[in-house]
Amino acid sequence: MTDFNELHTVDPLSLMGSDGVMSVLSRYWPSAAGGDRMAVAVSRALSAFAVLAGGAGVVVTLVNLHFWPDYPIFVSVGALAALIALLAPLVINESPDFALRARMLGYFNIVLLAGLSIANGEVASVGHVLLLPTVMTFTLVLGTKDGLIAAAITLVSVCTTYAMIRLAGPAPSTLHTYFAGMVCSTVFAYVAGAVLRTEMLALVREANAQRDRAEAAGLAKSRFLASMSHEVRTPLNGVIGMAELLSRSDLTHKQRKRVDVIRKSGDHLHNTLNDILDLSRIEAGRLTVDRRPFRLDEVLDSIERLHGVQADAKGLDLVCTLDPVLRLSPSRLGDPTRLLQIVHNLVTNAIKFTETGQVTVSLMQGASSESVMLRVEDTGCGMSEAELNRVFEPFTQAEDSAERSYDGAGLGLAIVRRLVDLMQGELTVDSAPGSGTVFMVQLVLPRVVDRENAGLSEAPARPCGERRRLLIVDDDANNREVAAGLLEALNADITHAADGAEAVAMTRSAHFDLVLMDIRMPRMNGVDALAAMRAPGDGPPVIAMTANAMTHQVERYAGLGFDAVLTKPLRGAVLLEQVLAVMARSKAARSVSEAPPADAEPELAGLDRA
């Protein structure tokens, strides 16, 4: 059951500040945003009754002012009851002891009204009429037990007044009708309030249960996706990695074509897996947008490298252009990873549905100096109006017939839509059958004044003439073989370890320039192994090499102290780049720590300082 004592705590003295008016209004009509919906409904019900009852009491008091000389006590008590009702929400709502204050003020007012009604000596008095909505409000706000007590007090006062009138002498003919009406009205007010509260609480409990079930289902889904992602990525790492190593060897034309089929199939499976995980993260609200400096021209360069070969294979021209205005300020603040993902998905879609002609990617000045317009245009088959209406739905393609001409899971454009919304941008599409398609994305990407403030760093230089010692740790022998093969270009001495415990023992008995560490391993996992390596002091730099590719997992590993995190399946270029970068940072850090203090005296070899 909802505990109405757990509402927001607000000190009444704070209502006297500069925002006092807004604070008073929020007490009388609490906001429903981000709070307990039932508690908000209860507070609003209290406020509605208090304002109506208090307002009615004020009107009655004003009407009865001419009776003040003869009945000062009655008029004063009525005015006090009206004042208490009007101030009740200010004192009760959003207080830490909501129920206690409601009971204290409520029962005090009920007793006042009941006493006023008995002293007045009439069954159909103003006090009795006001007691009826009080019974319903008590029942709704505090519960059926408190409502029953309020109803009992009301009935006692009505019955007492009725008995007093009967004992005083002949009663008016309307007395019995008024009495029966008051009794029935009190019972009706209590029953109606009790039924309404019971139904409201049942709905709240059901809504809470559905929310809990949805959260549990979402958690189970996330765990399932994380587990399946790991189980799929591990063998996929062997398939893609070995295919890449095979492509570097001497093969016949027929063999190379077969290896290319393996690589393309692996890449397609990898992309589909990433799309499913991205869509799941977006829908669960777990995908966040970063804000860091980057360069627009580097985004276009990446697109040319990623898709140039694919476009050439289909005989298409891939044209990437940067607006001359943007060339003057190419450094921007935003999320380059998500922007690159948007462009990548749009270009992949354009190349897929274009058989002849070209695909044009343009970055232009947007509606303001701080915004950028992305335009991706193709000369492909185009889309009809009906196809445009469903093009951003997941697992849907424009050509959704049983005999599809194009492969793919239909997730790319759905992810684009969600990423653009996440980045608070605008996405439009213009297309017609046989006339190609144009996608337009406008994003706010503030300019970065200069490169120094942007924090952009140059790519680390490749170490020359240095033979490094690397340790690859993975319980899967195939994965170790793939990583070692992809690192052949370094001409390094590579050692293998099958689990974390073995790796820790090796790093304590020998020096390694870098450790590539899997996370899930028997005996000792990668996280524990990292802690053990760092325990004696500064251990070697360690790169996590894992199939746990969910965003929260990658962020967790980075927070635990891994120098970098690589997700499987491994890519040769990315692996080499990260290894070189981490070793360069490690070397620079050692140089700084080993440098003598600036004010240290130089050693004077062979001289007596005395």
Q: What is the pLDDT of residues 371-395, one digit of tens each?
A: 999 999 999 988 888 888 888 876 5
What mean pLDDT do residues 66-75 have? 81
Reduce the DSSP state of residue 180 to 3 states and report it: helix
313 is a domain residue:
yes
CA distances from 283 to 68, 221, 279, 528 (A): 67, 12, 6, 32
- Confidence at residue 217, expressed as pLDDT on a 0 to 100 scale: 81
Asked if residue 529 has pLDDT above 80, the reply is: yes
Indicate whether 337 and 387 sit together in one domain: yes
Indicate whether 367 and 486 sit together in one domain: no
Indicate whether 268 and 337 sit together in one domain: no
* 332 strand-pairing partners: 294, 447
Number of domains forming the structure of the chain: 4
461 is a domain residue:
no
Residue 18's pLDDT band (cuts 50, 70, 90): very low
Phi/psi for 265 (5° steps) reads -65, -40
Q: E strands within 460-609? A: 469-473, 493-497, 514-517, 542-546, 564-567
| Full-model pTM | 0.49
More confident residue, 28 or 288: 28
Residue 124's pLDDT band (cuts 50, 70, 90): confident
344 is a domain residue:
yes
- Confidence at residue 233, expressed as pLDDT on a 0 to 100 scale: 81
What mean pLDDT do residues 549-564 have? 85
Tell me the pLDDT tens digit for each residue of 332-384: 999 888 898 899 889 988 998 899 999 999 999 988 888 999 999 999 988 88
- The CATH number assigned to the domain holding 296 equals 3.30.565.10
More confident residue, 9 or 225: 225
| Tokens encoding 5 | 């004592």
Asked if residue 125 has pLDDT above 60, the reply is: yes
Indicate whether 136 and 273 sit together in one domain: no
More confident residue, 2 or 373: 373
- Confidence at residue 363, expressed as pLDDT on a 0 to 100 scale: 94
Please check whether residue 353 is in contact with residue 321, taking contact to mean a CB–CB distance below 8 angstroms. no
Asked if residue 307 has pLDDT above 50, the reply is: yes
526 is a domain residue:
yes
Residue whose structure tokens are 């003020």: 105
- Confidence at residue 203, expressed as pLDDT on a 0 to 100 scale: 84
Whose CA is closest to 553, among 235, 222, 216? 222
Indicate whether 238 and 179 sit together in one domain: no
Asked if residue 527 has pLDDT above 90, the reply is: yes
- Confidence at residue 320, expressed as pLDDT on a 0 to 100 scale: 93
Phi/psi for 376 (5° steps) reads -120, 115
Q: State how far the Cα of 84 lies from the Cα of 97, in Å rounded to an integer.
A: 18
Indicate whether 182 and 279 sit together in one domain: no
Asked if residue 501 has pLDDT above 50, the reply is: yes
Indicate whether 275 and 297 sit together in one domain: no
Indicate whether 196 and 327 sit together in one domain: no
Asked if residue 519 has pLDDT above 80, the reply is: yes
330 is a domain residue:
yes
604 is a domain residue:
no
Q: Residue 17 belongs to what domain range?
A: 4-212
Please check whether residue 113 is in contact with residue 161, taking contact to mean a CB–CB distance below 8 angstroms. no
Indicate whether 318 and 245 sit together in one domain: no
User: At 374, which helix (H) or strand (E)?
Assistant: strand 371-378
- Confidence at residue 429, expressed as pLDDT on a 0 to 100 scale: 92
Amino acid at 455: G
What mean pLDDT do residues 168-181 have? 82
Whose CA is closest to 495, among 475, 516, 478, 476? 516
Indicate whether 195 and 228 sit together in one domain: no
Indicate whether 323 and 180 sit together in one domain: no
Q: State how far the Cα of 418 lies from the Cα of 564, in Å rounded to an integer.
A: 28
Indicate whether 274 and 308 sit together in one domain: no
607 is a domain residue:
no
- The CATH number assigned to the domain holding 267 equals 1.10.287.130
- The CATH number assigned to the domain holding 475 equals 3.40.50.2300
- Confidence at residue 266, expressed as pLDDT on a 0 to 100 scale: 80
Q: State how far the Cα of 169 lies from the Cα of 506, in Å rounded to an integer.
A: 108
What mean pLDDT do residues 143-161 have? 90
**Where does a domain end: 212, 232, 249?**
212
Please check whether residue 266 is in contact with residue 569, taking contact to mean a CB–CB distance below 8 angstroms. yes
More confident residue, 452 or 49: 49
Residue 301's pLDDT band (cuts 50, 70, 90): confident
189 is a domain residue:
yes
The tally of CA atoms less than 13 A away on the side-chain side of residue 560 is 20
- Confidence at residue 574, expressed as pLDDT on a 0 to 100 scale: 85
